[in-house]
Structure 1
Amino acid sequence: MEKILIIGCRNTMDDVCIGCSRCLVAFNRREGQFARYKDKEAEVLGILNCGGCPGASIVQRLAQVKLWNVPLQEQPTVIHIGPCLSDHCTHADDVITKIQAKSGLEVVEGTHPYMPEKIWS
């Protein structure tokens, strides 16, 4: 079974996308980048923010996720990067590179497909 950790932008998660509902709805419906789990068992293990600009604490935050989940015998098997981070953050390349280098897991850029192509159309 896939155990998914979603990582997003702290600023967006705190101020704009409260509750990360679009990521969770997409997972439940297996839409967007979660379509890859359509015929697989998968669950969201957690949602983590980057730690704030410029993402300097992301490696420590990943280590905390591991530490907190050891007693639960649960660990992520794949990481999804939310569009709030991958598409809109000026530090995204550095943050994603750190995640890829240190996590040892597959890193998928993307979660939900619910971004309007044009805001006012």
Structure 2
Amino acid sequence: MPKVGIIRCQQTEDLCPGNTDFKVASEGKLGFAETGPVEVIGFVSCGGCPGKKAVARAKIMIERGAEIIAFASCMGRGNPIGFPCPHFETIKTAVEKKLGPEVQLISWTH
């Protein structure tokens, strides 16, 4: 089973416990439909706006066994507050650049 690290928006931590992220990951549904079921081995925030800690945190999760980095839906889609991260594309591009093309990225979870 592939191992995934999930990066979430720090602004939504007090509103979302992440249970839907864990559920769809374990079932291989929605954002994980292409990978099938995965094991979540890390669940961290971006570090707060503008998300500069996301790159280092993604790298640490890869070093500790994650094969995939997923961005929780609060980042790109704005769940649950309806306000996506204004820095999402910059964060995602920076993570892609740091980790390289061999690490799969998933842009949303549910």
Question: Which structure has more helix as a fraction of its residues?
Answer: 1
Deviations 1:9-68 (A, max 9, x none): 0111x22112x0010111122210112233xx631111121010001222232344356x
- Name the counterpart of 2:47: 51
SS of structure 1 residue aligned to 2:33: helix
Runs of 4+ aligned residues of structure 1 deviating over 6 Å after TM superposition are: none
Matching of residues 32-43 of structure 1 within 5 Å: 32-38=30-36, 42-43=38-39
AA at the equivalent of 2:2: E
SS at match of 1:6: strand
Percent pairwise identity? 29
Match of 2:105 in 1: 107
* Number of positions where the alignment pairs a residue of Structure 1 with one of Structure 2: 102
Structure 1 residue runs of 5 or longer lacking an equivalent are: 70-74, 113-121
Aligned-residue Cα RMSD (Å) equals 1.8
Bigger CA radius of gyration: 1
Asked if residue 95 in structure 1 is aligned to residue 106 in structure 2, the reply is no
* Counterparts in 2 of 1:100 and 1:35: CA distance versus 1, 3 Å: same
Give the letter aligned to residue 68 of structure 2. V
- Residue 23 of structure 2 is matched in structure 1 by 25
TM, length-normalised to structure 2: 0.80
